[in-house]
């Protein structure tokens, strides 16, 4: 979920488990959502996106769920691997805007 202080929320899982990372977005007018992954020492990397006319989208080992009623987005990672350890950001865009607004991020730690 979203952090309210200086420290990122952290999710610790065992290798092979499924991970669910949550994000509460702020703007009910947002119609496009993206998940990014940021590994240590690197810039954020696109994972998956979803438009507001969908409530679910699947990629390779990842699924994004969108609940517009409660303005909630989640990223599910199946069979989590140590290489999935990173900070995950959700981002939202309002239609016509070129600039996404990023959430605070969640740190995922995968234990072998």
Q: Looking at 93, 106, 108, 110, which residue binds other proteins (CB under 8 A)?
A: 93
Q: Are strands 106-111 and 101-102 parallel, antiparallel or unpaired?
A: unpaired
What distance in Å separates the CA atoms of residue 55 and residue 50, rounded to the nearest whole number?
Answer: 8
Site track for other proteins across 9-48, x = CB under 8 A: -----------------------x-x-x----xxxxxx--
Residue placing its CB nearer to other proteins in the complex, 51 or 111? 51
Residue placing its CB nearer to other proteins in the complex, 96 or 112? 96
Residue placing its CB nearer to other proteins in the complex, 34 or 108? 34
Token pair of 94 as six digits: 């309002």
Residues found near other proteins in the complex (CB under 8 A): 6-8, 32, 34, 36, 41-46, 49, 51, 89, 93, 95-105
């Amino acid at each position: 979920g979203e952090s309210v202080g200086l420290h990122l929320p952290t999710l610790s899982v065992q290798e092979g488990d499924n991970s669910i990372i949550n994000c509460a977005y702020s703007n009910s007018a947002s119609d496009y959502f993206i998940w990014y992954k940021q590994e240590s020492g690197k810039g954020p990397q696109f994972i998956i996106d979803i438009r507001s006319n969908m409530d679910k989208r699947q990629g390779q080992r990842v699924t994004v769920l969108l609940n517009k009623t409660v303005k909630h987005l989640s990223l599910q990672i199946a069979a989590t691997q140590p290489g999935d350890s990173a900070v995950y950001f959700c981002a939202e865009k309002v239609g016509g805007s070129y600039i996404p607004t990023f959430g605070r991020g969640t740190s995922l730690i995968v234990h072998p």
